[in-house]
Structure 1
Amino acid sequence: MPDGAIATTMLSSADRRAGEVLRLRREIGRMQRRRSDETVLPVDAALQAILPKGGLHTGAVYSVSPSPSLVFALMSAVSRRGSWCAAVGMPTLGLEAAATFGIDLSRLILVPSPGERWLAVISALAEVVPLIAMSPGTAVRDQEATRLAARLRDRGCTLLSTAQWPQSEGMISLHDPHWEGIGEGWGMLSDRTVTVTAQTRSAPRPQSLQVRLPGSLGRIEPVSVEPVPVEPVPSAPVRVIERGAPPLPTHPSWAVA
């Protein structure tokens, strides 16, 4: 067998992923963006009432329910204004559903399977993408979270993590789904009502809203106008990540939808 064939055969999956990261970095160099001076990224009008200043803090990490609908709902406003978004480690995301939420597919970067190099991929994408959704697939170590947090703050990039994050700015969860359209044993599912709850460091008391997700047109639609305060559930011991920072208890419900 020729030496070249032997070398090709010996390439491991890790080598191929390293090559993908290098290609991604070259493309990012071509797309290089300037750091934004804005402090808040917009979200859909239906969700603004439950988030401080009506949006997501730039340079922060939010733990979110592993729901494609919730991820798309949080991305939609940023994409509609012409900014780039990215999804990492989410191979089952549907592009048709993303387009229904108003996400510009020409400005959506997908890295379905980064493997163990997810940290390098997120760090590279932070150079050009203001909003990234990520599912690391494994528990995030404190050291990894600290390194990435510094990168995100430096570039003004916001991260939505479907895994519990050691130093998150807050939690946004989707729960209590209720489908409509089924009659007495028959009918067609028309839309779904869910509750979205947000709890952040600057607003530690949870706030909830009911929305249709998806609504009749496939995107998010408000049901209740005013947020409803939710009493925090006494739960497991809370780790205080930073001195003086308010603790964030773990939300009891992380529905997949």
Structure 2
Amino acid sequence: MSAMASSTAPGASAVYGVSAGVPVVEAGGVPGAGRVLPTRTELAAVLPWPGLRRGSTVAVHGSVSLLFALLAEATANGSWAAVVGLSGISLVAAAEAGVELARLAVVPRPGGDPAGVVAALLDGVDLVAVGGTRNIADSDARRLSARARNRGSVLLPFGPWAGAEVQLRCADASWRGLGQGHGYLRERAVTVHAGGRGAASRPRSCRLLLPARDGAVGVPAGEPAEIARPRLRSVVGC
């Protein structure tokens, strides 16, 4: 987005749960005006682009830490983000993950029309994360993805989403830090699986620390950035 506007975007005060004092500016300005919003380099192994492509829909399953990691670099570089329908998120954890809270709007309870709230935010915010996805009809989900494409925003559903271009799932989680019955849980290693359609049709997997010891994203020491998949061989006669 461009530098922070001195007033809210038209209609922003009408969005249920968003304070009229929250500044919302038009997407497409600078910084972040390019077609790709920056992400942490550790996420390169699971994204089909060198960042988050404007207009894309990237569904995140099972890890709020991964969602924060996707928001962190863009907000640190001047983009604005909104989180809708995730009432239990920790802003402390978001800040530790690198999210710039001064550029984050939170709508924990979007009321009876969550799709309408998301649509309004897509008109003026670079990245919009959406919880409670099961409460949004598939037809509305597709319309919101189309709106994101039209507005050049990035839509980040936290859960199932009809028509998402990229699906990110976390599995095989293990916490680290405890010794022989003592110590603290300091970091969590997970396998992130990525798939989807178009540029994301090639499945990808990698091991990440979500969160790492500093609360952000990291790569486990001694492990490859991307998990190699066995190559398929054609078998004659089958």
What TM-score, normalized by structure 2, do the two folds share? 0.80
What's the CA shift for 1:22? 6.5
Which residue in the other structure is 1:219 paired with?
Answer: 216
Paired residues of 2:71 and 2:81 also in contact (CA < 8 A) = yes
Where in structure 2 are there 5+ consecutive unaligned residues? 1-12, 231-238
Out of 15, 19, 23, which is 1:21 matched to? Answer: 15
What's the CA shift for 1:112? 0.1
Amino acid across the alignment from 1:61: T
> Structure 1 residue 172 and structure 2 residue 168: aligned?
yes
Root-mean-square deviation (CA), in Å? 2.3
Write the distance in 1 (CA, Å) between the matches of 2:96 and 2:124.
Answer: 24
Cα deviation, 1:46-82, whole Å, max 9, x if unaligned, reads 1112212222221121221142211111111111101
Which residue in the other structure is 1:250 paired with?
Answer: none
Cα deviation, 1:135-176, whole Å, max 9, x if unaligned, reads 135253232123212211111111111221111101011111
Structure having the higher Rg: 1
Counting matched residue pairs gives 212
Write the distance in 2 (CA, Å) between the matches of 1:112 and 1:163.
Answer: 16
Question: Does the residue aligned with 1:59 lie in a helix, a strand or coil?
Answer: coil
Cα 1:163–1:216 change in 2 (3 A) is closer
Write the distance in 2 (CA, Å) between the matches of 1:46 and 1:219.
Answer: 10
Cα 1:66–1:118 change in 2 (3 A) is farther
What's the CA shift for 1:180? 1.3
Out of 192, 196, 202, which is 1:196 matched to? Answer: 192
Write the distance in 2 (CA, Å) between the matches of 1:24 and 1:182.
Answer: 41
Paired residues of 1:140 and 1:166 also in contact (CA < 8 A) = no
Q: Identify the structure with the greater helix proportion.
A: 1
Which residue in the other structure is 2:157 paired with?
Answer: 161
> Structure 1 residue 123 and structure 2 residue 137: aligned?
no
**Equivalent residues in 2 for 1:46-195 (5 A)?**
46-195=42-191
Amino acid across the alignment from 1:57: R
Write the distance in 2 (CA, Å) between the matches of 1:24 and 1:72.
Answer: 20
Paired residues of 2:16 and 2:110 also in contact (CA < 8 A) = no
Paired residues of 1:25 and 1:124 also in contact (CA < 8 A) = no
Paired residues of 2:58 and 2:157 also in contact (CA < 8 A) = yes
> Structure 1 residue 33 and structure 2 residue 29: aligned?
no
What's the CA shift for 1:205? 2.5
What TM-score, normalized by structure 1, do the two folds share? 0.74
- Which stretch shows the higher mean deviation, 196-205 or 32-41? 32-41
Question: Does the residue aligned with 2:49 lie in a helix, a strand or coil?
Answer: helix
Cα 1:27–1:149 change in 2 (3 A) is farther
